[in-house]
Amino acid sequence: MWCGQQAHKRPSGEIMVMNEAEPGSPGTAHPETPQDGLDGLRSATLTMNQALGLAVVVFSPVLTAATVGVFMGGVAGSSGWLSAAAGALVMVCIGVAIVPFAQRHVVSGALYSYIGHVFGGGAKFVAGASLAVGYVVGLMVMLGVLGLYVGSMLTSVFGVSGANGFTGQVIIYAVAITAAGILAYRSLDASAKLSIGLLFLSCPVVLAVLIGNLFSDGFDFAGQFAFSDFSFSGFTLGLVLSTTFLVGFESSAATALETKDPIRTVPRIIILVPFIVGGIAVLGTLLTVPSLGAIGDKLAAGESPIAAMARHSGLGFLAEASDIALVVTSFSVLVGFMNYAPRVWATMANDGLLPKAIGRVAPRTQTPGTAIAVMCVPALAFPVALIAITDASPLEMYQYLATLFPYLWVIPYILICTGAIVVLRRNGELTVVKTIACLIGAAATGWLYLNSIVNPTGTTLDDMTWVAPVSIVAMMIIMGARRLVSRSGEQAEEGR
């Protein structure tokens, strides 16, 4: 049982964290662990269960179970579950690559910090630019899905006209991002408990509909194992789509400094999250795909998949409740991610890549309050501008952002998988299994982006393939300019 931490300083000034164990209890593999992150955060705030719960919430098994089957079935047919399983396996492989870093370093910058420890400043700079954009886009995606379901709920359940229009969506986004920001600022522990509670609140309704769907007329569960309509192109596209449900799963490492016994807890979470959410994605696909033909008209009319399945399976009285459940779970996802993203931005600010003020930790709440406030601005402004300029519907806006989001993790994932091989080989811990896992993670992540070029959709969503590198380069320019200004200021101070 973990009893506490003692901080030690090396002559270089690097802070070390000594994990103490009770006599007779197993120690950690790395008793002295570098602490690399923000000062002022509240240590040992999250227990193992809370940290795991928050990580699972952010990649919501409820939202995944309710929607993944439609995506898988749409591109891979009745073999969609195979794509979902392969996508989960890819993310587990990436998790295997991240674990060696989580076992050695207690950080607040997640992948950004880990990459710096193996490759140094250059790779850290590139990964930081990609992740800085990625975390803002992640908040936009979660606002988008929340706006989609809140708008649908207000229209269908409460008869509120205009909820899906420009004004209605702006109000939804503004209220949601403000509420999530306040909760994240007040306390990591409180927002974690709220997010987990909302997840459990929304789970029973969606679970009941999926189980009820299993007994609906014409539901051919066994036919999904015949592979009669299997195609490699469908499988590949399904694989790409399934991984998007788990991109960023390692973000829980951003709260390592605030987690009890992080050297044991964080590695476990990084492996468990893709297993849990990936497994639910497979199950959700199996319980959804056979009914897609029967609910196709309802989906085309704009009804949510879970509500359409509720009506088809004779559980129509749960249709409206299922939409409300998705609103609840979508908000819990937004709150959870709001606890991860600002910590990474604040860490970058402390390293001089972003304005130093963004790295401040509020003394009273011990949370990165400035980063939370600053990130809310682009996360709200960009979706509002996108809707205003393009007149996009809530669904279209969500599709644009959800397509862009995984592309921003391609560079960091390839770097971390490569870095894991370097670190494990350096320490004599590289095995055949770990090598294969790292290679699968890097190759699959690279294919996730290349597939968008090789197999374009022929729609405006293809534009996101090029928006990703352009936005990364733009952020690199901003960060580079910021670094130059910072160095110039330091040199001026030294010259006085």
Segment 109-159, tens digit of pLDDT: 999 999 999 999 999 999 999 999 999 999 999 999 999 889 888 887 888
pLDDT above 60 for 16: no
pLDDT at 34: 58
Residue pLDDT, tens place only, 301-318 = 767 888 889 999 999 999
3-state secondary structure of 178: helix
At residue 41, the pLDDT reads 94
Q: Which two tokens stand for residue 46?
A: 């999250």
pLDDT tens string 271-292: 999 999 999 999 999 999 999 9
| Mean of the per-residue pLDDT values of the chain | 89
CA nearest neighbour of 413 among 236, 237, 247, 239: 247
Residue 268 confidence (pLDDT) above 70: yes
Asked whether the predicted pLDDT for residue 36 surpasses 80, the reply is no
- Determine what percent of the chain is predicted with pLDDT higher than 90: 69
CA distances from 249 to 6, 52, 94, 330, 423 (A): 29, 11, 10, 16, 21
| pLDDT of 396 strictly over 50 | yes
The gap between the terminal CA atoms of the chain, to the nearest Å, is: 52
At 201, the amino acid letter reads L
Predicted confidence (pLDDT) at residue 14 exceeds the cutoff of 80? no
**Cα separation, 316 vs 298, whole angstroms:** 13
Whole-number Å distance between alpha carbons of 247 and 327: 21
Q: What sign does the CA torsion over 292, 298, 300, 303 have?
A: negative
The whole-number pLDDT of residue 485 equals 78
Is the pLDDT at 270 greater than 90? The verdict is: yes
**pLDDT bracket for residue 6 (50, 70, 90):** very low
Whole-number pLDDT of residue 208: 95
The predicted-structure confidence for 397-438, as pLDDT tens digits, reads as follows: 888 898 899 999 999 999 999 999 999 999 999 999 999 999
What number is the average pLDDT over the span 65-83?
Answer: 91
Total residue count of the chain as it appears in this document: 496
Q: Of 298, 250, 222, which Cα lies nearest the Cα of 111?
A: 250
- Position 158 scores a pLDDT of 85
**Helix H or strand E encompassing 7:** strand 2-9
Question: Please, which pLDDT band fits residue 19 given cuts at 50, 70 and 90?
Answer: very low
DSSP letters of 60-128? -HHHHHHHHHHHHHHHHGGGHHHHHHHHHHHHHHHHHHHHHHHTT-EESSTHHHHHHHHH-HHHHHHHH
Give the pLDDT confidence score for residue 28 in this predicted structure: 37
Predicted pLDDT of residue 136:
98
d(CA 96, CA 75) in angstroms, rounded, equals 28
At 323, the pLDDT band (50, 70, 90 cuts) reads: confident
What is the value of pTM for the model shown? Answer: 0.89
pLDDT of 192-234, one tens digit each?
A: 999 999 999 999 999 999 999 999 988 999 999 999 989 888 8
